[in-house]
Amino acid sequence: MDTPQLGLKSVKVVALAVHDMARAKRFYGQTLGLEPADEGGDEVGFKLGGIVLMLKEGWYGTPTAEPNPRITLECASARATEEALKRRDVKISNPVDRYDERFFIGAFLDSEGNKLWFCSAD
């Protein structure tokens, strides 16, 4: 029996809980240099490629360094990204390390304590 396709395409939005919206906006906008994302004229978060990183203050969830699901951001060079994050005084929770002989992966904590992973092939 054939099951009809659901029409799912890609991840559109990732929402993160924050304690302090102004501080989180400074972190994502100024520290990481992401562009604001808006929907219908309302600022909803930050652009990250084709994904919106949405910040949710007073949400049901709380910021965590152990998110489920895990969010991993692709970058050109994980080692260069780690160095650039350190220069911006971003806390590196997991230094870049080689994984599965194919990828370099590291993680940092945002201003609210959420852990975000990053990776590259080199």
Q: Phi/psi class of residue 21: alpha, beta or left (left: φ > 0; alpha: ψ in -120 to 50)?
A: alpha
- Of 5 and 116, which is predicted with more confidence? 116
pLDDT at 7: 74
- The predicted structure's pLDDT at residue 6: 56
pLDDT tens digits for range 16-74: 999 999 999 999 999 999 999 998 888 889 999 999 999 999 998 899 999 888 899 99
Write the pLDDT tens digit of every residue in 75-107. 999 999 999 999 999 999 999 999 888 899 999
Residues 112/23, Cβ–Cβ less than 8 Å: yes
pLDDT at 64: 92
Q: What is the pTM of this model?
A: 0.82
Task: Give the pLDDT of residue 3.
Answer: 62
Can you tell me whether residue 111 is helix, strand or coil? coil
Residues 6+ apart with CB under 8 A from 31: 88, 89, 90, 111
